[in-house]
Amino acid sequence: MALDPQLLEILACPEDKGPLLYFEDEDLLYNPRLKRGYEVRDGIPIMLVDEARSVSDEEHERLMAKADAEGIRPTFEE
């Protein structure tokens, strides 16, 4: 289930307050600055620092390449 576009415009990382990348097909909101992923469960973003998962360097590279290839833009511009 895709997140509402209006919601995406205001979503920010709860830790550094910066924009996120939304990977709809992976149910993931990703902060590339901190290499942290926030799950989307049943269409609800789980925006809790304690629930975030760390992303390895390899996964970070994969996600960034995917964002570039698919034109995935940040939730907002800083």
H or E element in which residue 65 lies: helix 57-70
Q: Could you give the domains of the chain?
A: 5-70 (2.20.25.10)
The three-class DSSP label of residue 14 is: coil
Give the separation between CA 68 and CA 51, rounded to whole angstroms: 26
Give the separation between CA 68 and CA 44, rounded to whole angstroms: 25
What are the tens digits of pLDDT across the range 56-75? 999 999 999 999 999 999 99
Confidence of residue 33 (pLDDT cuts 50, 70, 90): very high
Does the CA dihedral 50-32-64-41 come out positive or negative?
positive
